Amino acid sequence: MAADGRIDAVDVLYSDHYGWLRRWLQRKLGCAHEAADIAHDTFLRLLTHPVETPLREPRAYLTTIAHGLVVNHWRRLEIERAYLAALAALPEPLAPSPEARAETVEALVAIDAMLEVLPDKVRRAFLLSQLDGKTYAEIAAELKVSERMVKKYMANAMLNCVVALENAAR
Amino acid sequence: MKTAFEALHAIPAAALEEAAGWFANLADGTATDADRKRLQDWLDAHPDHVRAWKRVEEVTGRFGPVAHGGQPARAVLDLPRAGRRRMLKALSVVVAAGAGGLAALRLPWSQWRHDLALAHAGHRTGIGETLALALEDGSRVWLGSVSALDVSFSENRRALSLLQGDLLVETAKDSVQPARPFTVATRHASLRALGTRFAVRCAEAQSRLDVFEGAVELTLTGSTQTLVVRSGSQATFDAARILATGQADPGRESWSRGILLTDGMRLDALIEELGRWHAQAMECAPEICPMRVAGAFPMKDLDRILAAVQKSLPVRVLREGSVVRIVAAPPAAEGRN
């Protein structure tokens, strides 16, 4: 019953450290609501990404996860704000529905996270191909590299993305 | 990169690498039938190849909504990353400053967040409007007059944010198992549904929660205090404390059916409530404010409600220019009735 054991372990962690983690986050964020959310997500992460051995420094571990989530939270806000600012420049009839907006922000956050670690040219090549539909010849001209290099960039970018996805899925 | 590979067990790294290579071969749009045939052969060679290729398709699938999002979406990804990093860094400094440094920043930051959120709320209603929404998990919510709501469902949560106004919630058993928590945030508290039907009002100074079925766990924004509000109860609160508790008011859900229920409501409270639903300036003379009104009225029919008030109480409803004024009925008029 490994699964039950894991939930038990997280239960213990939860009852021992949830309140502490929430206060820690609240000091960081200044908002009890966000602090509760992220504390909650931290424990969810523990449930979905179990650690094999008992934790020697549970609070250090929890704050590491929580800090990552806080950074993601801000990143999302920043992306959302940039997108809304860009939308504000559109004439009214072209403005997307709230659902479409939410979906776009969601996708932007996901793509941004996937491409974050890529070198600039690799990232640009990937976006030019996947979003703007450009051919390798066009991308090569724009980035002033060879077509063979563009193809390498594309493989490199995709490999990063699939590895990130695969890690996230585990 | 290396650590990512080392951590990888599920799909062999080699399969992912080859899949990425195949993607690069084909993404130029110049692939021939022979290329596609070779890809098919590679896919047929091993189930891991198919799984790896699925991941590739997952990645390309993520670009769909952004491509549809057009230029504004594209522009976000073109932002200079250094600038965005700086922004994140600046925020991190705020964090590092700790509790003392944060106190001074808290108000403007949260106010700014609130105003921005309000301007871009997913769902908004005007005066007198209600909006019924079916959420993707089967839950139903109703938005009352002059209200703003954001809905954010993800893998892990069902999160609503009531930015202002009235919300009635009827949660459904989550379509995803294990069930994701269902929460409603107002500027004063976070409410967590424990299987339930409840109404929330978010006003500037305070919020109010009425629970009609099940229970809701309430956590104040500005303190660690939590309270479980059970079926048949209500709580009124601001960010720092619970201001009042008592019986749930059925009138706090009847608006979703277009009904104004005034179970002994004070006249001034009724006028205030009507003011939320009708673009009509109304005043009530101070001496009659404590009078109580009981009844069920069609929310939209202001004339009928005012006529009923005049009929049931010793008051006069006067129309003076664009303002409706309710005053005590002169004794003579009362005698004539």
Query: Tokens for B25?
Result: 């071969």
Reduced 3-state DSSP string for chain A: CHHHHHHHHHHHHHHHHHHHHHHHHHHHHCCHHHHHHHHHHHHHHHHHCCCCCCCCCHHHHHHHHHHHHHHHHHHHHHHHHHHHHHHHCCCHHHCCCHHHHHHHHHHHHHHHHHHCCCCHHHHHHHHHHHCCCCCHHHHHHHHCCCHHHHHHHHHHHHHHHHHHHHHHHC
- The count of C-alpha atoms lying within 13 angstroms of the C-alpha of B253, restricted to the half-sphere facing its C-beta, is 18
pLDDT at A132: 83
Task: Give the pLDDT confidence of B105-160 residue by residue, as tens digits.
Answer: 222 333 434 444 555 567 888 778 888 888 888 888 999 988 888 888 888 889 99
pLDDT at B221: 84
pLDDT at B111: 41
The confidence band for B49, taking pLDDT boundaries of 50, 70 and 90, is: very high
Q: How many CB pairs under 8 A join A and B?
A: 187
Higher-scoring residue by pLDDT: B52, A167: B52
> Is 0.80 surpassed by the pTM of this model?
no
State residue B197 phi and psi, 5-degree precision.
Answer: -130, 120
User: How much is the mean pLDDT over chain A?
Assistant: 80
- Between the alpha carbon of residue A58 and those of residues A14, A18, A44, B133, B229, the distances in Å are 10, 11, 15, 42, 32
Higher-scoring residue by pLDDT: B73, B157: B157
Contact map slice: B 165-204 vs A, CB within 8 A: 181, 183, 185, 189-190
- Which residues of chain A does B66 touch, with a Cβ-Cβ cutoff of 8 Å? 104, 107-108, 111, 131
Q: Cβ contact (<8 Å) for B4 and A164?
A: yes
State residue B238 phi and psi, 5-degree precision.
Answer: -115, -170
Task: Give the pLDDT confidence of A112-150 residue by residue, as tens digits.
Answer: 888 877 888 899 999 999 888 889 999 999 999 999 999
Distance separating alpha carbons of residues B10 and A45, to the nearest angstrom: 19
In chain B, the residue whose alpha carbon lies closest to the alpha carbon of A153 is B24
Most confident range (mean pLDDT) of A143-152, B3-12, B53-62, B105-114 is A143-152
pLDDT at B228: 92
pLDDT at A158: 93
Reduced 3-state DSSP string for A44-72: HHHHHCCCCCCCCCHHHHHHHHHHHHHHH
Distance from CA of B314 to the nearest CA of A (A): 47
Burial label for A169, CB within 10 Å (0-12, 13-18, 19+), is exposed
Distance from CA of B295 to the nearest CA of A (A): 38
CB B229 within 8 A of CB B213: no
Distance from CA of B321 to the nearest CA of A (A): 36
Over residues A147-154, mean pLDDT: 94
pLDDT at A17: 86
Q: Which residue has the tokens 């049931």?
A: B312
Q: Residue B3 is inside which H or E element, if any?
A: helix B2-6
Distance separating alpha carbons of residues A49 and A168, to the nearest angstrom: 9
pLDDT at A1: 38
The verdict on B152 touching A (C-beta cutoff 8 Å) is yes
Per-residue pLDDT at B50 exceeds 80: yes
Task: Give the pLDDT confidence of A43-88 residue by residue, as tens digits.
Answer: 877 776 666 556 677 888 888 888 888 877 877 887 888 888 777 7
Cα distance between the two ends of chain B: 87
The confidence band for B191, taking pLDDT boundaries of 50, 70 and 90, is: very high
Higher-scoring residue by pLDDT: B184, A29: B184
Q: What is the ipTM of this complex?
A: 0.71
Residue of B60, B77, B118 best to disrupt the A interface, most CBs of A under 10 A:
B77
Cα-based angle B289, B295, B299 (whole degrees, multiple of 5): 90
Give the type of residue at B221: T
Q: Cβ contact (<8 Å) for B74 and A131?
A: yes
Per-residue pLDDT at B9 exceeds 70: no
Q: Cβ contact (<8 Å) for A70 and B20?
A: no
Check residue B180 and report its DSSP letter: P
Distance separating alpha carbons of residues B124 and B19, to the nearest angstrom: 45
Higher-scoring residue by pLDDT: B3, B286: B286
Per-residue pLDDT at B271 exceeds 70: yes
pLDDT at B112: 36
User: How much is the mean pLDDT over chain B?
Assistant: 79
The verdict on B112 touching A (C-beta cutoff 8 Å) is no
According to DSSP H, which parts of B177-317 are helical? 251-254, 267-277, 302-312
Low-confidence winner among A64-73, B94-103, B229-238, B293-302 (lowest mean pLDDT): B94-103
Selecting from A44, A70, A135 the residue whose C-beta is nearest the C-beta of B29 gives A135
Over residues B71-85, mean pLDDT: 62
The two beta strands, B158-170 and B182-185, are parallel
Query: Tokens for A47?
Result: 């449930």
Distance separating alpha carbons of residues B208 and B151, to the nearest angstrom: 19
pLDDT at A91: 66
The verdict on B88 touching A (C-beta cutoff 8 Å) is yes
pLDDT at A16: 82
Per-residue pLDDT at B205 exceeds 80: yes
Higher-scoring residue by pLDDT: B174, B7: B174
Q: Cβ contact (<8 Å) for B69 and A100?
A: yes
Over residues B33-49, mean pLDDT: 88
The confidence band for A7, taking pLDDT boundaries of 50, 70 and 90, is: low
Per-residue pLDDT at B69 exceeds 80: no
Distance from CA of A3 to the nearest CA of B (A): 13
pLDDT at B120: 57
Over residues B183-196, mean pLDDT: 89
Query: Tokens for B248?
Result: 């749930």
Task: Give the pLDDT confidence of A84-117 residue by residue, as tens digits.
Answer: 877 777 666 567 777 778 888 888 888 888 887 7
- Which residues of chain A does B121 touch, with a Cβ-Cβ cutoff of 8 Å? 98
% of chain B exceeding 90 in pLDDT: 22
% of chain B exceeding 70 in pLDDT: 82
